[in-house]
Copies of this chain bind each other. A is one copy, B any other.
Amino acid sequence: MHLRRTSRATWHGTVGDGDGTMGLGRDRVIVPFSLKSRVGDQPATNPEELIAAAHAGCYAMSLTNVLENHGTPPTEVTAESTVHLVQGEGGFSIPTVDLSCDVVVAGVDHDELTRLAAEAERSCPVSQLLDAEITLTVRLTEGNES
């Protein structure tokens, strides 16, 4: 299987005063962005939030897959990703991404879940793609015995 997924963005004007839009693939959900929404508090999104959403989504699927293969399919996986955008002497970079997950699953204790969550982080294609230090926090929010 070899899939190609394409999205497009447009920027008008200068970096400081201009603005742009990012379109999400075929769906053509269009989200606006600007320098103020990227490094300030303007309530619009930015590339880092899209990376974080992609990472969280991919990881939630990967962890579900790992838990299914382990014979303990989860009821729900919530993942959160925090992308660090740092301005240094050489410009902006993303050195670190913090990943955390809350898992509702029966029949797995915290240590086992931690091991499986790390396995999912290694197999998640978006985690693999990110050339950053990725930290991982695991929360077993419910563990109803089956």
Measured CB to CB, the residues of A under 8 A from B are 1-15, 18, 20, 22-27, 29, 31, 33, 35, 38-39, 43-61, 64-65, 68, 73, 75-87, 91-94, 98, 123, 125-126, 128-132
* Contacting residues, chain B, for A13 (C-beta < 8 A): 64, 75
Q: Contact check, B93 vs A125: say whether CB atoms are below 8 A apart.
A: yes
* A86 CA to B130 CA, complexed, in Å: 16
* A56 CA to B55 CA, complexed, in Å: 17
| Count of this chain's copies in the oligomeric assembly | 2
* A144 CA to B29 CA, complexed, in Å: 32
Q: Contact check, B11 vs A24: say whether CB atoms are below 8 A apart.
A: no
User: Can you name 29 A-B residue pairings with CB atoms under 8 Å?
Assistant: A1-B85, A2-B86, A2-B87, A3-B48, A4-B84, A5-B46, A5-B49, A5-B51, A6-B80, A7-B49, A7-B81, A9-B53, A9-B59, A9-B80, A10-B78, A11-B61, A13-B64, A14-B73, A15-B61, A23-B53, A24-B49, A25-B52, A26-B45, A27-B44, A27-B45, A29-B45, A46-B57, A51-B54, A129-B130
Q: Contact check, A64 vs B14: say whether CB atoms are below 8 A apart.
A: yes
Majority secondary structure, A binding face: mixed
Q: Contact check, A129 vs B51: say whether CB atoms are below 8 A apart.
A: yes
* Chain B: CB-nearest residue to A56: B9
- Tell me how far the C-beta of A126 lies from the nearest C-beta in chain B, rounded to whole angstroms: 5
* A7 CA to B80 CA, complexed, in Å: 6
Q: Contact check, A50 vs B54: say whether CB atoms are below 8 A apart.
A: yes
